[in-house]
Amino acid sequence: MQEKEPSLEAIQDIRRMMDRSSRFISLSGLSGISAGVFALAGAFLGARTLNEYYEQKFAVYGYQGAEFQTLKGQLLLIAVSVLVAALLSSYYFTWRKAKADRQTLWNPTSRRLIINMMIPLLAGGVFVLTMLQYDEWRFVAPTCLVFYGIALVNGSKYTLGEVRYLGLLQILLGLICAQPYFVGYGLYFWALGFGGLHILYGVFMWIRYERKGA
Amino acid sequence: MKNPINGLNKVFDNRVRLGVMSVLVVNQEISFNDLKSMLEVTDGNLATHLVHLEENGFVKVHKGFIGRKTNTTYSITKAGEKAFSDHIAALEGMIRGLK
């Protein structure tokens, strides 16, 4: 019996090192929650801005003219602010968790995670911009959701495995959103995916991995 | 019955060397500094163990530069992969034999 212990320990050591060097595990659930909250806030602001335009100005200006350009500018500003706020806040919580885990934030595993997520994200981003060049706005929300979902599925190999399910749900939501029945409800789906699912995922992960340790 | 202890490799007796091999089987190439932070060891300690592994032909060293700073990276050799998987098989055999 004495020899069972060291060999078991050695195998556990090996497993831990293999895992630790190939997956970035310091992703915090709080990052998901904060990104989701900013997404919901952004969606709310966006919906309000759109409603205002439709109620007060659409009858006069329609889909062109200076007022419409202002609307586009406002929406873009909201979108960029949400992106920056979500990135900064999730960076902060993950940085905090990495520090608690005595891990560095910038290591081979996080680099691999970022690179593998950026490939589908950049492709999706360029694709959305191309659609806007053609004034094709109907598939903006579904395309965001589908490409983001693909990025998560792709990145999940390099971080916590649960990210894969978040990705699959985003893809599913995006595909449903693209159906003719839901045209015009893109923002709601967008809020559900980037807001609701992020918060749900964040709470789940926080309860599962961080509650006891914190 | 065959004695399973025969399969264990003396080189992997040490936790740092075992750690280095575990990291290298799943990473094609890794720098000295990344290895150091993953294993939480000191420069001198890690360097000694890496030399030991290199002398046994289990790891390959690549010396390169990033700008003017040296950037030394390590990767596993075919012999290293074989020795490591034999070592794991022996560990498994021991656990199974003792059940």
Contact between A202 and A27 under an 8 Å Cβ cutoff? The reply is no
Which residue in A1, A2, A5, A7 has the most chain B C-beta atoms within 10 A of its own C-beta, making it the best mutation to test that interface?
Answer: A7
User: What's the CA gap between B39 and B42, in Å, rounded?
Assistant: 9
Sheet arrangement for strand B69-76: B30-31, B69-76, B59-66
Q: Which of B24, B98, B99 to mutate to test the interface with A (most CBs of A within 10 A)?
A: B98
Per-residue H/E/C for A24-45: ECCCCHHHHHHHHHHHHHHHHH
Name residues 92-121 of chain A within 8 A of B (Cβ).
Answer: 102-104, 107-108
Q: Which residues of A touch B26 (CB under 8 A)?
A: 18, 21-22
pLDDT the model gives residue A213 = 55
Contact A18 B92 (CB under 8 A): no
How many Cβ atoms sit within 10 Å of the Cβ of residue B91? 21
Inspect the interface and report whether the beta carbons of B94 and A11 lie closer than 8 Å. Answer: no
Burial of B46 (0-12, 13-18, 19+ CB in 10 A): buried
pTM: predicted TM-score of the whole model, two decimal places: 0.80
Beta bridge partners of B51: none
What are the tens digits of pLDDT across the range B63-72? Answer: 988 888 888 9
| pLDDT of A214 | 47
Question: Please, which pLDDT band fits residue B5 given cuts at 50, 70 and 90?
Answer: low
Find out whether A68 and A25 touch, Cβ atoms under 8 Å. Answer: no
pLDDT at B77 over 80: yes
Three-state DSSP at B97 gives helix
Greater model confidence, B5 or A137:
A137
Q: In angstroms, rounded to a whole number, what is the distance separating the alpha carbons of residues A8 and A24?
A: 25
DSSP string, B16-68: HHHHHHHHHHH-S-EEHHHHHHHHT--HHHHHHHHHHHHHTTSEEEEEEEETT
Instruction: Mark yes or no for CB contact A7/B95 under 8 Å.
Output: yes
**Partners of residue B18 in chain A, C-beta under 8 Å:** 10, 13-14, 17
Q: Is residue B74 within a helix (H) or strand (E), and if so which, with residue range?
A: strand B69-76
What ipTM was estimated for this complex? Answer: 0.76
Query: Strand B59-66 relative to strand B69-76: parallel, antiparallel, unpaired?
Result: antiparallel
Q: pLDDT by residue (tens digit) across B8-63?
A: 888 888 889 999 999 999 888 899 988 998 888 999 999 999 999 999 999 999 99
| Residue segments in chain A with a per-residue pLDDT below the cut of 50 | 1-2, 214
Beta carbons of A13 and A179 less than 8 angstroms apart: no
Structure tokens at B16: 């740092």
pLDDT attached to residue A4: 58
